[in-house]
Structure 1
Amino acid sequence: MTDRAAPPFAVDPTALRQAVADTLGPLAKRVDLVLDEITVTVTAADYMKAALTLRDAPECRFDQLIDLCGVDYSEYRNGAWDGPRYAVVVHLLSLELNQRVRLRVFAPDDELPVVDSLMDVWPAVNWFEREAFDLYGIVFEGHLDLRRILTDYGFIGHPFRKDFPVSGEVEMRYDAERQRVIYQPVTIEPREITPRIIREDNYGNLH
């Protein structure tokens, strides 16, 4: 039995990192290679231009957006993080060159995180940006239909933020007398969620 051959056009990660760094030049704040994965970090001001370069440059040709998500760094490294709180992370794929890259941008304002929308670069980003807006409150400037996609239209807050309460803030129910859906403060009573094996010294007679 012979070893499976490497896929065609597979690129050495070190060589790809250098090619991406050379192509982006000053548009990239840093280009990291960790575990054979490349992460490009750019400023919000250079985000759109860097995205267009990664899509169109001959050495890159990242024609497909695989994923976009938000990140809340407020508790990163047990609170030791001192950079901007919110980031947007994009995963890109070049079908032609069989290579991948991760693009990361930090929103400069923690109170109102705003970055450019990439809908004009990769239209498939539409629902991904709506999800990041819904869950993290990140605003994508230039998005033509930026509204919630997972939570209800009347939902208050952004549930993937680290400071969002575990039980939420409001709940929705159908009121039979009013014959409509109403919102009210959460009525879930606090409960113990620590596993018994941790909170009870002799649980299961384990010694």
Structure 2
Amino acid sequence: MTTKLETLETSLRNVLGESIQELKSALGEITIIVKAANYSEAMRTLRDHPELRFEELIDLCGVDYSQYGDGAWDGPRFAAVSHLLSIAHNWRLRVRVFAPDDELPLVPSVTDIWPAANWFEREAFDLLGILFEGHNDLRRILTDYGFIGHPFRKDFPVTGYVEMRYDAEQKRVIYQPVTIEPRENVPRVIREENYGIK
């Protein structure tokens, strides 16, 4: 007897075929990797094909792989990862697409397929600098419009580049160089046998 995951895996291989760069099944979940060139067509097929019918985009986020595996990663740096749900078939799928260029990470937008992707893609752009081609309103969503850089990139400094404060004399918010001294926080470890026991 085939399991639900095996049925989904077979359907994915039959329907998407060569569009799938890699398919992994682990911990009761299936993840597929799709090339950026095939991404739009594959996502539309995932939504529309009767064998799959992933009607709902649950989540979309950006990932920076530059320090993945303690620096052992040698693939592309940025990826967009989507989680899809098929209500009709009651199964889930993770789809990963890597941006081919690390300097200008660009992948197609899926807002025309799932309008819910709008804010998710804006967040991935704001925090990681991933550009979504075809997105009609790609602007910052969480950081200030004057913010420089993308704070979730692994090479972005923890303290940032500038800080802002309200200046009472100028009666406005001003930006200035960071005044926080960098330091390393080491957690305090309590090694008492009966700590917390009364």
Q: Same fold (TM over 0.5)?
A: yes
Gaps of 5+ in 1: 1-10, 198-202
Identity over the aligned pairs, expressed in percent?
65
Superposition deviation, residue 85 in structure 1: 0.3
RMSD, matched Cα: 1.4
Distance between the aligned counterparts of 1:204 and 1:113, measured in 2? Answer: 46
Distance between the aligned counterparts of 1:70 and 1:157, measured in 2? Answer: 15
Q: Please say which of residues 64-73 and 179-188 is displaced more in the overlay.
A: 179-188
Task: Say whether residues 1:104 and 2:96 are aligned partners.
Answer: yes
SS in 2 for 1:93: strand
Gaps of 5+ in 2: 194-198
The total of aligned residue pairs comes to 191
Superposition deviation, residue 123 in structure 1: 0.3
Q: Which residue of 1 aligns with 2:79?
A: 87
- Alpha-carbon displacement from aligned partner over 1:39-72 (angstroms, at most 9, x marks no partner): 1101110000000010001110001000000011
TM-score by length of 1: 0.88
Superposition deviation, residue 190 in structure 1: 2.3
Superposition deviation, residue 179 in structure 1: 1.2
- Describe how 1:188-203 pairs up with structure 2 within 5 A: 188-197=180-189
Q: Which residue of 2 aligns with 1:150?
A: 142
Q: Which residue of 1 aligns with 2:63?
A: 71
Task: Say whether residues 1:172 and 2:173 are aligned partners.
Answer: no
Structure 1 stretches of at least 4 aligned residues deviating more than 2 Å after TM superposition:
203-206
8 A contact 1:84–1:109 mirrored in 2? yes
Distance between the aligned counterparts of 2:192 and 2:72, measured in 1? Answer: 39
- Alpha-carbon displacement from aligned partner over 1:72-92 (angstroms, at most 9, x marks no partner): 111111111110000000000
8 A contact 1:17–1:32 mirrored in 2? no
Task: Say whether residues 1:137 and 2:115 are aligned partners.
Answer: no
Q: Which residue of 1 aligns with 2:196?
A: none
